Amino acid sequence: MKLLRYGPMGMEKPGMLDNAGNIRDLSAVISDITGATVSPEGLDLLRALDPESLPLVEGKPRLGPCIGAVGNLISIGLNYADHAEESGVPTPTEPVVFSKATSSISGPDDDIILPEGSQKTDWEAELAFVISRRAYRVGLDEALDYVAGYCICHDVSERSFQLEHGGQWIKGKSCPSFGPLGPWLVSADEVADVQNLDIWLDHNGTRRQQGTTSKMIFPVAEIIAYVSRFFCLLPGDVITTGTPAGVGMGMTPPAYLRAGDRVELGISGLGQQRQQVRAFG
């Protein structure tokens, strides 16, 4: 089951993809796709629907973030050994946990807006997942039972804000448009092995990142068990799981996003994102 949100920014409606890849409107069934609708019971209700019985959405509307009203957007840093190496830091022995402001969340094909004064805005293709029910002190063996579904997150990062101004990484991770989510939320039952998905990113038509979730240092189940030791995860919370090597910061010389650039990224079975980069203002 592939769930999505479509329509103008801030006015998105809930939808579902049918078997032919057409958008079907869910507005008569649920008001939105949020934490309140991705519980196990809520997903069972949607799974029981015949997509062909739902109204067809004509044309190609804008896709919004695949989950709305996100309470927490949690990120795991340096979760691929090759990315830690290119960043010049030791491989973590525990997950590196930080937050992105939820105001950074945008649609999968919305423009990336360079913040005023940015010179080091970078790309990071990542697997993300959405929590389906309250999770606190969850055991490793049951951790995946708390996942509603998986999606793509582009963890856009302004490196000078992140690394050159002291304090926490959140400053470089949270500008508006720095968290494209989607295009779809793919229900967990349709992802046979989340630790065996290809992940890639192209910058201006050149492949920059090519990896696989099998290379994660801390897999999804371990991330949930670890994070839920320290705080409670709630339905609709999003966790994005780190990026493989190939970011602009790791190139020689470093390469960063500029106005007019194009970025495309994808994960096997989870779709693709396409973004244009534009200047602030």
Region 166-184: mean pLDDT is 96
Nearest Cα neighbor of 77 from 195, 172, 149 is 172
Note the pLDDT tens digit of each residue in 34-47. Answer: 999 999 999 999 99
Concatenated DSSP letters of 213-239: GGGBSS-HHHHHHHHTTTS-B-TT-EE
For the chain, report the end-to-end CA distance as a whole number of angstroms.
Answer: 38
Residue 89: per-residue pLDDT: 86
- pLDDT reading at 87 higher than 90: no
Nearest Cα neighbor of 70 from 171, 180, 161 is 180
Note the pLDDT tens digit of each residue in 239-257. Answer: 999 999 999 999 999 999 9
Per DSSP, the chain holds a count of helices (H) and strands (E) of 5, 18
**254/248 Cα distance (integer angstroms):** 5
More confident residue, 191 or 81: 191
Note the pLDDT tens digit of each residue in 89-120. Answer: 889 999 999 999 999 999 999 999 999 999 99
Q: Decide if 48 contacts 78 (C-beta within 8 A).
A: no
Residue 171: per-residue pLDDT: 96
Question: 68-279, superfamily in CATH?
Answer: Fumarylacetoacetase-like, C-terminal domain (3.90.850.10)
- pLDDT reading at 84 higher than 90: no
Note the pLDDT tens digit of each residue in 201-233. Answer: 999 999 999 999 999 999 999 999 999 999 999
Contacts of 37 (CB under 8 A, 6+ apart): 14, 30, 46
Could you tell me the pLDDT band of residue 12, with boundaries at 50, 70 and 90? very high
More confident residue, 91 or 152: 152
What proportions of the chain, in percent to the nearest 5, are helix, strand and coil? 20, 30, 50
